[in-house]
Structure 1
Amino acid sequence: MIMVGGVDMHNLLETIMRIVNTVVEEEPLPLNIIEASHFWTYYIAVMDSIAFEEAGLNISDDTELKQLLKESESLCLKQAHHIEQIMRENGIKLPRVSEPKPFTDSKYIPEGVKLTGEELSNGLAIKFASMASFGATAATMSIRADVRKMWMGFLVEVLTFDIKLKSTMRKREWLNMPPAYKPA
């Protein structure tokens, strides 16, 4: 259970998905240019995140951070494969993306070159904030119900992981907290 401000976020996200699942189209329309563009752009973002996660797994010796990077990579791979399938089915050309990073033992990477746990976790947090924002935009701009449902599902997955990531970042004092707002 993930509580935020006294609200069980898992139940809230499940409720949103139940509402989205009630909308059924008799026959899906073809993808429109905006939906295709959203697939193309999000695919690039997710694949870039995977490259970052692979690099992070090579750099970090921190067990807890490596677990988060593995979970993030798994989530991004799942979403990338789903989008790839839709793009291929709809004749959307796949964009060029980063090549997979080979495994390297972190002991062979000089200390001055390695990103810290704080840098890796904040980089991951920025990527997930971007994915959440873009996914929400894509969901609201989608015409097709099945596409909107897919984006909402992605958004739930991203937000669920992001809550876990931020919780760990707070615990480890890695979270870059903006100053409190004090109106004049």
Structure 2
Amino acid sequence: MHSEAGINSTTDPELRKAFHEAVKMFKSQRERLTVFLRLEGVPLPPLSESKPISDPNAVPPGVKLTDDEFANSLNIKMFLGITMCATAINESVRNDVGLIWVEFLQEYMTFGATMKTLVKKRGWLKVPPFYYPPGAPIQ
């Protein structure tokens, strides 16, 4: 998991805590979805193994990402999760399936809000440049 790699690569205590919370959330979602699918008789492929715990200081600086890169990649993962959950809710024919995605969506949105606070606090939030329409005076 990318989030486990983040835990193994950062020494920032708040970012490590966020990655631990993300891993806990992802594992919980995976378990709930696995149980549901198995009860419905859906065969599942083998899942990826967890990453072993390692020392963040042992990762060479030229190899590991910076804390802001890790934080923003986790934010991108939250954005994709929110988008995919919303799509799945919209496309779900069964109410029980839709409710699973609603639960996941709520978890992603709650976690995303706490991540946004962290990245703003640390100055890691990537803000796109202002848009000036053609012909508009530049301020």
The answer to whether the superposition gives a TM-score over 0.5 is: yes
Task: Please name the residue that 1:101 is paired with.
Answer: 51
Aligned equivalent of 2:5, options 31, 38, 55: 55
Deviation (angstroms), 1:95: 3.3
Provide the TM-score with structure 1 as the length reference: 0.69
Provide the TM-score with structure 2 as the length reference: 0.90
Aligned equivalent of 2:81, options 102, 116, 131: 131
Runs of 4+ aligned residues of structure 1 deviating over 6 Å after TM superposition are: none
Are 2:129 and 1:144 aligned? no
Task: Please name the residue that 2:33 is paired with.
Answer: 83
Deviation (angstroms), 1:181: 2.6
Q: Deviations over 1:56-107 (max 9, x none)?
A: 1111110010010011111111111000111111222223443210011112
Give, as a single letter, the amino acid of the residue that structure 2 aligns with 1:175. L
Identity, % of aligned positions: 38
Task: Please name the residue that 1:65 is paired with.
Answer: 15
- In structure 2, stretches of 5+ residues that fail to align are 135-139
Give, as a single letter, the amino acid of the residue that structure 2 aligns with 1:130. L
Count of residue pairs brought into register by the alignment: 134
Tell me the SS of whatever aligns to 1:179. coil
Task: Please name the residue that 1:118 is paired with.
Answer: 68
Give, as a single letter, the amino acid of the residue that structure 2 aligns with 1:81. E
Return closer, same or farther for 1:95/1:131 CA change in 2, 3 Å cut-off: farther
Task: Please name the residue that 2:42 is paired with.
Answer: 92
Are 2:128 and 1:178 aligned? yes
Give, as a single letter, the amino acid of the residue that structure 1 aligns with 2:64. K
CA distance in 2, matches of 1:108, 1:68: 21
- C-alpha RMSD of the superposition: 1.2
Tell me the SS of whatever aligns to 2:130. coil
